[in-house]
Amino acid sequence: MKEKIRVYVSGFKISALDYVDAGSMGHPCVTTRNAESMFTEYQHLPKGSLNGYLSDDQIKAIDVVSEFCEDNGMEYEVVDTAKMSFINKTKLVLRGIKAPAVTFKGEKIEGVPTKEDLEALTAK
């Protein structure tokens, strides 16, 4: 089994109140359970591909790793720490992994990696 490069990100879900514009905030539908589906036309915040929002540096980290893996015939996996249990998050903290981070075979890169960083990481 091939070892995968792991990209750790920390997404967060955006509530319905984050989707609506200021003029709609007072509308009673905003506070209903279906507000998110009723106000989809008001979405104005950027959304990541992981069921929520990712910061620009986390998106860039995924893009760099994706391109590197495509060029080098490797596989990668995106791990959203926001979806992890408290115990698993604690294990990451103890290992010193804070999003965005990239790991491969026990080695890690903190922040957004460069192509050279990934080459050095995978050469070990």
- The CATH number of residue 98's host domain is 3.40.30.10
Report the chain's mean pLDDT, rounded to a whole number: 77
Which single residue is written with the structure tokens 């698993």? 88
| Three-class SS state of 14 | coil
The residue segments making up the domain with residue 97 are: 5-14+46-123
How many Cβ atoms from other residues are within 10 Å of residue 101's Cβ? 24
Does the reported pTM lie above 0.85?
A: no
- Cα dihedral: 104, 109, 115, 119 (round 10): -40
Amino acid at 24: S
Considering the domain boundaries, does residue 19 fall inside one?
no
Number of compact structural domains in the chain: 1
Whether 8 has a pLDDT exceeding 80, the answer reads yes
Considering the domain boundaries, does residue 67 fall inside one?
yes
The tens digit of pLDDT for each residue in 9-48 reads 988 755 444 444 555 545 555 555 444 444 444 443 333 4
